[in-house]
Chain A
Amino acid sequence: MSAPERFLERLNARRENDPSWVAARRQAGAARFAAVGFPTRRDEAWKYTDVRAIAEGDFALAADAEFLAERLAACALELDAHRLVLVDGRFNAELSSLDALPAGVSVTPLSQALEANHEQVGGSLGRLAGVDFSAFTALNTAFADEGAVVRLAPGTVVDKPIYVVLISRANEQAVMSHPRVLIEAGARSEATVIEHYAGESGAANFTNVVTEALLERGAIVNHYKLQEAALGDLHVASIHVDQSRDSRFNSFNLNLGGSLVRTDLVTDLNAEGAEAAYYGLFFLQGRQHVDNHTLVNHNAPRTFSNESYKGILDDRSHGVFNGKVYVKKDAQQIEAYQNNANLLLSDRAEIDTKPELVIYADDVKCSHGATTGQLDEEAVYALRTRGIDVAMARGLLTLAFAGEVMEQVKLNEIAERVERAVAGRLPERFNLADLVETAEAVQEA
């Protein structure tokens, strides 16, 4: 049996109470996946990422969504938020708290949204991420039966973040999940949506998530993807964004966990004044492999994008950054900036970076830069003259390197968590976490 067949076989075990259009889509997804199979390194988009660990794996579908509240508290953010919890891809109502949603906002598990009014969901679901985008979106389309549907009525500003926690358990039999997140932001609405991938340290599951976000005129969405899954987890994600006039999408892609992680982030800026900001940080250790592919399509004049990704790579980790800015013909007076900076902490770590520009309009301001290098020796010296030894000076400067992206993070709980995680994982003998805590204490005092 081929790898695609093996995966699709699991589909037969699913319950069959889908509305007909959903069933048709599943079939289309399955057919597409069966036809293209898993990508190989001969595919340009997968040149640096080998997905055999996924293709050769044996993943069941989770049978339940049980998870202890204490366990959740141990790995989730301490955050005053509207919370939706998925455990191995299945909704856990007890751990979720969606009772205090203000008027004009709905946050619903996908299964319930389909049950309650599947036509309404059907209009948007799959509009941005069809089965053609990649083998993984096809696979997701075939399987997706759970996730989160976030709807904001025009003019709604959500008071608290919408926090989707996706837990991966340490199961005896590895499982796969294909969650689907749909965000529909009405005109001038404003919300922060967090996708937090976390779980038990022994987990070795496969998560294949697709997120679609539709921003109507003037909508503002802050989207966080915080990847803190176990170091054995396999994770493929694609995020698709469609932006109308004057809308703004701020993406924060913060990657600390997972053994193999691939994230595709695609934004279509479809009308004047639309603006996208991408911030990314990946800190890799051991044999972690993280691949970030971003694409901004400037489809209309006077659209703006700004991107900054930073990578810190240690041990034998492997990082990939492929950022593409596409400017359509006649999309004049656009501005697009892109930057990728990387620090290699070990000679056995590798970074492959490719910042691309594809431009068909002449009145544009586009620039990109990619640097890989060392810490500023002048700064190391300055710290040493204050009595700080070389190792710690380097640790501090590495933290500072990450800090330039973290400064953009508006949610303190996330900024502090990532900063602590980076500080705590730095290889130097000094534990910078203590410093970070002191700084936080001084700030709060």
Chain B
Amino acid sequence: MASEEMEQLVRREYKQGFVTDIESETVPPGLDESVIAFISQKKGEPEWMLEWRLEAYRQWLKMTPPSWAHLEYPPIDYQAISYFSAPKKPEDRPQSLDEVDPKLLETYEKLGIPLHERAALAGVAVDAVFDSVSVTTTFKEKLAEAGVIFCSISEAIREYPELVRQYLGTVVPRSDNYFAALNSAVFTDGSFVYVPEGVTCPMELSTYFRINAANTGQFERTLIVCDNKAQVSYLEGCTAPQRDENQLHAAVVELVALEEAYIKYSTVQNWYPGDEDGKGGIYNFVTKRGDCRGDRSRISWTQVETGSAITWKYPSCMLRGKESIGEFYSVAVTNGRQQADTGTKMIHIGEGTRSTIVAKGIAAGRSDQAYRGLVKIGPRAKGARNYTQCDSLLIGDQCGAHTFPYQEIGNSSATVEHEATTSKIADDQLFYCRARGIDEEDAVSMIVNGFCKDVFQELPMEFAVEAEALLNVTLEGSVG
């Protein structure tokens, strides 16, 4: 690999880097109980919700940030972050796409997410989170017909308090970890989905998260509940504008699958990774967990992670129900000075539970990435099975790729298999492609895409195309 071409890799620019100029209403930086009360009041929340938040805040104060991950970053000043930012006049929020600020739509265009087109052509309902407040929700009627609730979490707290109260914080408790506690205290938006018994959600649900205002952390909270024999596929895309300072993103996603329910959660994360010197970029500290509560339920996480300066993320499955299934398919690409410590946890509690983990890591530039996973087989998980495959590809000699798989096995009838490899793109593979007339960059792109194929094929069709494109952009010029 020529060093000149290697350098090109580091020089690529963030294509989604621009700032949308919409007046925001933002609270001054800092966090105390009054800020939380302000957020709760702004959202028109009931008293119990405020209490819930304050309890989380008080627990958070007693906690310390985790230090075990293979990540390096300066301590975060939580008093320098603004915890609420909403487009002005929230009460006048647009009721349909026509009313949406054209500038916002333009933003989505630039992102390559033509909202209405996507909505109309692909039949995807989009609950777009634009700096903390849900701007618009489409296809609500069609979903309502099927009995599916799909709205912002704030709306759900107001409209469906019983459902929210029943499930919120039951998968990721408030004190689960430092960032989950912070999120529980200050979360401002996110999605709520409830699919009633026996219903297969008639369309894929999609949310695009975007961090816009400077100095605002994004703390969205997503809760998806699939009742008995219900099914849903949920798509999450994330992106943020280019800024010099680091922005904190600490989301919590909770999934609940009851008997024979199936939740498929796909993420394409392309947040601003910072510049080539590691300046700016998103700190992505996310807690995602699915609870397979019912027998034969299934939760599937698929993620393509190409963005963020730092990623700390372990979408997990609690396999409680008999014969429930957990899946994790992940592609993580790091370049420049990005750092990622990501993986999954599969906690086998019920009999006959099964899990599959396929994690592909590609490290380029001066980036560092780690796969960290836990497979735990409890004493009652008779006949549990796990298969883990975990491969890393290194591009260039300035990056690092690490694997930390934990296996805790307490049942003799369990079968747990873990395989991992680390390699570079073989010269003979490149040679072979070039000898067939394919230029080097395309050859690398082909090989890398082939390397990720097992994961891409788990993504919904449109996302798969986008993921491949994103991968190519991220690795642009990274090879010679």
Contacts and interface: CB of A to CB of B under 8 A. Distances in A.
A344 interface: yes
A348 B412 CA distance: 8
Interface in A217-244: none
A370 to B, nearest CB: 4
Interface stretch (A208-216, A359-367, A435-443): A359-367
Interface residues of A, number: 37
A332 B422 CA distance: 13
Nearest to B423: A365
Interface string B115-128: 00000000000000
Given A332-B397, A347-B412, A368 B420 contact: yes
B422 A356 contact: no
A345 B412 contact: yes
B402 A356 contact: yes
B412 A355 contact: no
Given A361-B397, A374-B413, A366 B402 contact: no
Contact of B424 (A346, A353, A362, A369): A362
Interface string A371-395: 1111000000000000000000000
Nearest to B417: A371
Residue in B379, B403, B412, B417 with the greatest tally of chain A CB atoms within 10 Å: B412
Given A359-B402, A362-B394, A344 B412 contact: yes
A86 B412 CA distance: 39
A357 B416 contact: no
A5 interface: no
Contacts of A342: 409
A367 B397 contact: no
A198 B467 CA distance: 59
Contacts of B398: 329
Given A347-B379, A367-B420, A367-B422, A357 B403 contact: yes
B18 interface: no
Contacts of A349: 410, 412
A357 B420 contact: yes
A166 interface: no
Contacts of A362: 394-397, 399, 424
Interface string B371-408: 00000000100000000000010111111111111111
Nearest to A330: B397
A163 to B, nearest CB: 36
Nearest to A350: B410
A358 interface: yes
B418 interface: yes
A358 B372 CA distance: 12
B407 A352 contact: yes
Nearest to A345: B412
A142 to B, nearest CB: 30
A321 to B, nearest CB: 9
A373 B424 contact: no
Given A347-B379, A372-B407, A374-B413, A363 B419 contact: no
A355 B415 contact: no
B411 interface: yes
Contacts of A370: 405, 407, 416-418
A48 B419 CA distance: 22
Given A342-B409, A344-B409, A370-B418, A356 B379 contact: no
Given A354-B404, A355-B405, A364 B423 contact: yes
A99 interface: no
B34 interface: no
A44 B420 contact: no
Contacts of B68: 44
B166 interface: no
A368 B424 contact: no
Contacts of A44: 68
B324 to A, nearest CB: 20
B380 to A, nearest CB: 9
Contacts of A368: 403, 418-420
B412 A367 contact: no
B394 A372 contact: no
B377 to A, nearest CB: 8
A30 interface: no
B420 A355 contact: yes
Contacts of B419: 367-369
Contacts of B408: 48, 350-352
A263 B396 CA distance: 36
Given A356-B405, A360-B399, 7 more contacts: A351-B407, A355-B403, A363-B424, A367-B422, A370-B405, A370-B417, A371-B415
21 contacts: A330-B397, A342-B409, A346-B412, A347-B411, A354-B404, A354-B405, A359-B402, A360-B400, A362-B394, A362-B395, A362-B399, A363-B397, A363-B424, A366-B421, A367-B421, A370-B407, A370-B416, A373-B415, A373-B416, A373-B417, A374-B415
Q: Which 4 A-B pairs rank lowest in CB-CB distance, beginning with the nearest?
A: A362-B394, A344-B412, A373-B415, A366-B422
